[in-house]
Amino acid sequence: MWKRLEIAGLTLPNNVLLAPLAGYTNQPFRAMCARLGAGLTFTEMVSCKGLRYGNENTKELLLSGEETPKAAQIFGNDPEIMRAACESEALAPFDLIDVNMGCPMPKIVNNGEGSALLENFPLAERVISSCVKSGKRISVKFRVGVRRGDRIAAEFARLCEGAGACMVTVHGRVREAIYAGEPDYAEIARAKEAVSIPLIANGGVFSRADAERAMRETGADGVMVARAALADPRVFCEILGTPPPPLETLFFTQLSRTEELYGERFATVFMRKTAAFYTKGAEGAAEWKRTFFSVRTTSELREVAERFFAERARAAEEEGRV
């Protein structure tokens, strides 16, 4: 089930991928997930217009490091601007470029981008084919539909393949569901039957059992992990059956690398929300979360995190004695 995956001549070490996550999949996080076993990691979605006009914040999203292979995700709706982005120096380090046609957020949809392209097949096709002309490997991530009851995944997957995409990722929810409810694995399965290129199933994968179910019910070539990696990036170890390192070690390594790349202010804000994910299920979780969000420096964050992980270890030891 978990095996190497070939995508247009690119060999992935396995078929368990890290999704692009806006606000989270910066370089240190991607590198950590790659070390934990993710077969491919994606940047946060990057605006092609931002790249065209030299937006510095946009460029920061594309910092890359030792993780390999690597992928970037872009969004937009102008075929020529999208192609220029794919040909840009900023995207040169990436082995694959993913085109976002699934984002459900109103600020993206109202601009005719993301999942808005599911309602404009001709434009979606032009965007994909224009990106393919850049010579880069192009994949597409999209949702099974826009509204409940939609059944467009197979048709849209065929469109992507026909336009030259070398892989598609299908999120099993419609746009109006955002992230709520069960993913429609039957619809992903119909999309899989419609194409010959690799298809990745996305949505509802929070554990090894979930990943196995997604593979079994969709016939997909792999799975993509999203929010589960924020709650505990060792989910890749769980799915792949490899020994997980201590979460504490991962946190402090990620904090140091984030501060090194982006500075103290960013590292404090970013890593305190990361720490907040780890408080879920812990004794006194609400208070720990408030404490983490109250820190103002990385030194304060390290001190609180040391106390939190020590308390977690103590609670685990006590539970083991019962």
User: For residue 104, which amino acid is it?
Assistant: P
Please say if 103 is a catalytic residue. yes
Instruction: Single out the catalytic residue among 86, 103, 131, 166.
Output: 103
* Phi-psi label, residue 105: left if phi above 0, alpha if psi -120 to 50, beta otherwise: beta
Distance CA 104, CA 110 (A): 10
Residues 6+ apart with CB under 8 A from 131: 79, 82, 83, 86, 97, 99, 138
Tell how strand 138-145 and strand 222-225 pair up.
unpaired
Tokens of 179: 């992230």
Residue burial 272-299, b: 16+ Cβ < 10 Å; e: rest:
bebbbbbbeebeeeeebbebbeebeebe
Residues 6+ apart with CB under 8 A from 298: 255, 259, 264, 267, 268, 271
Give the C-alpha distances (Å, rounded to integers) separating 240 from 13, 106, 207.
11, 35, 10
Torsion of CA 104, 118, 49, 99, to 10 degrees: 90
Beta strands in 131-274 (DSSP E): 138-145, 167-174, 199-202, 222-225
* Phi-psi label, residue 239: left if phi above 0, alpha if psi -120 to 50, beta otherwise: alpha
Which residues are tagged catalytic?
103
